[in-house]
Chains A and B, each alone.
Chain A
Amino acid sequence: MSAREKGWKEIAPAGVCSKPSTAFLTGDWKTYTPVRDLEKCTRCLLCVLFCPDGAIRWKPEKSDIEFNYNFCKGCGICANECPTKAIEMKVE
């Protein structure tokens, strides 16, 4: 906590910030983290399509998917949709 929060005359109008929205790492909101079983995963990419935050991406160079935990909020939709039950939501 800062010693004193700024008053309304001192703060940026409408709260504008000098960084893009991608600089706000909203992944720290999560309680549960998706953990993938590489054996069970068939790389069907359904989780990529269902992720509401775009936090799962297909990486062609690795021929695999990758979770971006900076933006994953732990909603568990990927685990719910996974046809081979390869994703488990674990408490962080």
Chain B
Amino acid sequence: MGSVVKQVRMALSGDEAVAYAVKQSDVDVVAAYPITPQTIIVERFSEYVANGEVPTEFVCTESEHSALTACLAASVTGARAFTATASAGLALMHEMLFVTSGCRAPVVMAIANRALSAPLNIHGDHSDSMAQRDSGWIQLYAENAQEVYDSIIQAFRIAEDTNVLLPVMVGLDGFTLSHTLENVDTLPDDVVKQFIGSRKIPKVLTHEGKMAPFKLDPDNPMTMGPIALPNYYFEFKRQQEEAMKNALSVIKKVNNEYAKISGRSYGNGLIEQYCLEDAEVAAVCLGSTAGTMKTIVDELRAEGVKAGLLRLRMFRPLPVEDLRSALCNVKAVAVMDKCMSFGGNGGPVFHEIRHVLYDADVQPYVVNYIYGLGGRDTSPRELRSIYSDLQRIVAKKRVETPIQYLGLRE
């Protein structure tokens, strides 16, 4: 049993917390291109490089597509690689996101979540990373700057686990987290270094049936990302799905081990339940909104309302079983989406949650609230109204409007 180590409290914005965590994570290559609200991450990190505080190779690229390509190339040689982006930058990476996960390169990337154009908007919502949810990347969403710092460190462990070998995105809400200064308890450098460890390169059976280290090496030539025609491609995609399934237990394990050294954990690593055990009405949300929602749940509980909250920390892989068992006894669930799926039946988180509950013995009422697009502020009063809506649904035993827009002017 390890013991919680002494930590240094620093005032860091979410972006700075990312940069500081990366600085401590013994990263070999950082390749990046600036974009608001991510820019501070690579700005701070480039200062660490310029000051000689880290031995990391810092590559300034001409686009995000190139930034991720450089990270992928570094990663397949066995290096630890990191990048960060947001919004249009992530959209430009789209092609390479699939190549990175398909090559099983454990790159870690911070996403300062921001709306997508048009109209042009630099503020926070989840449109950027939600649009990449099927790209084969693990997706974590952090609630505050402390969790941003902790999650980046954990992300390297998760990505590089030899049963996983998948890239990881850590989402932090643009401006709400990226640019807001918070107290962040930071671990000593050596503790972080020891927690992550050096990257382990597994031996794999190659196409020719030869055991070889899974990395590019001039002395032991290997082809990464070869062509796979209809007789093999499908099998490689199934392997990626298995790695996602393996990631569920790895994320839980990493969350537990991290708790032992830091004293901090985030639910079971996949979901965080807040007053959910006996809840009759509950909301499901991602990211920073959960902070405000917890306060509202506290207020409602003080008033005798059996309100609860489920914060989905890990969106990919989706913790299906955890979600179902946590929500199946709730009477009405409100799912919050900071993103739209145009022409779909509600937002992406709603799709998943309602789908998960389809297989529950008794299905709760499930409704969707689309909110906060393009950085639209959502007041505590508006968030509180979600719970009164849910109470009304339970009383009437009927959902009148399954998809609602919170804070939208009619």
Contact yes or no, A17 B206, CB < 8 A: yes
Q: A11-B207, A12-B204, A12-B205 are in contact. Are A17 and B235 (CB under 8 A)?
A: no
With beta carbons under 8 angstroms apart, the residue of B165, B221, B232 that contacts A5 is B232
Q: Kindly state whether residue B231 has any CB partner on chain A within 8 Å.
A: yes
Contact yes or no, A12 B206, CB < 8 A: yes
List chain A residues, Cβ under 8 A from B236. Answer: 8, 11, 14-15
Contact yes or no, B103 A20, CB < 8 A: no
Bound CA span A63–B75, Å:
42
Contact yes or no, A16 B231, CB < 8 A: no
Contact yes or no, B222 A11, CB < 8 A: no
Contact yes or no, B231 A18, CB < 8 A: no
With beta carbons under 8 angstroms apart, the residue of A6, A7, A8, A24 that contacts B226 is A24
- Name the interface residues of A20-50: CB closer than 8 Å to any CB of B: 20-21, 23-24
Q: Kindly state whether residue A62 has any CB partner on chain B within 8 Å.
A: no
With beta carbons under 8 angstroms apart, the residue of B104, B221, B226 that contacts A13 is B104
List chain A residues, Cβ under 8 A from B228. Answer: 15
Contact yes or no, B206 A16, CB < 8 A: yes
Interface string of B190-232 (1 = CB under 8 A from A): 0000000000000011111010101000001111111010011
Bound CA span A92–B206, Å:
34
Can you report 17 A-B residue pairs in the complex whose CB atoms are below 8 A from each other?
A6-B235, A8-B239, A12-B206, A12-B207, A13-B204, A13-B239, A14-B224, A14-B225, A15-B236, A18-B206, A18-B212, A18-B222, A19-B223, A20-B221, A20-B223, A23-B221, A24-B223
Q: Kindly state whether residue B102 has any CB partner on chain A within 8 Å.
A: yes
On chain A, which size bracket covers the interface? 10 to 19
Output the least CB separation between B106 and chain A (Å): 12
Residues in chain B within 8 A of chain A (CB atoms): 102-104, 165, 204-208, 210, 212, 214, 220-226, 228, 231-232, 234-236, 238-239, 242
List chain B residues, Cβ under 8 A from A23. Answer: 221, 223
List chain A residues, Cβ under 8 A from B222. Answer: 16-20
List chain A residues, Cβ under 8 A from B210. Answer: 18
Contact yes or no, B235 A18, CB < 8 A: no
Bound CA span A7–B235, Å:
7
Chain A residues touching B, majority SS: loop
Bound CA span A59–B207, Å:
35
Q: Which residue of A lies closest to B101 (CB)?
A: A14
Output the least CB separation between B327 and chain A (Å): 32
With beta carbons under 8 angstroms apart, the residue of B104, B212, B223, B238 that contacts A8 is B238
List chain A residues, Cβ under 8 A from B207. Answer: 11-12, 15-18
List chain A residues, Cβ under 8 A from B221. Answer: 18-20, 23
Bound CA span A12–B205, Å:
5
Smallest CB-CB A-B distances: 7 pairs: A20-B221, A8-B235, A18-B206, A8-B238, A17-B223, A17-B207, A18-B210
Output the least CB separation between B206 and chain A (Å): 4
Contact yes or no, B235 A16, CB < 8 A: no
Contact yes or no, A17 B238, CB < 8 A: no
Output the least CB separation between B173 and chain A (Å): 33
Output the least CB separation between A68 and chain B (Å): 19
Bound CA span A8–B242, Å:
10
List chain A residues, Cβ under 8 A from B238. Answer: 8
Bound CA span A23–B238, Å:
27
Output the least CB separation between B202 and chain A (Å): 9
Q: Which residue of A lies closest to B205 (CB)?
A: A12
List chain A residues, Cβ under 8 A from B235. Answer: 6-8, 11
Output the least CB separation between B108 and chain A (Å): 18
Q: Which residue of A lies closest to B202 (CB)?
A: A13
List chain B residues, Cβ under 8 A from A14. Answer: 102-104, 224-225, 236, 239
Output the least CB separation between A58 and chain B (Å): 26
Q: Which residue of B lies closest to A1 (CB)?
A: B231
Output the least CB separation between B390 and chain A (Å): 43
List chain B residues, Cβ under 8 A from A24. Answer: 223, 226
Contact yes or no, A21 B223, CB < 8 A: yes
Output the least CB separation between A20 and chain B (Å): 4
Contact yes or no, A5 B231, CB < 8 A: yes
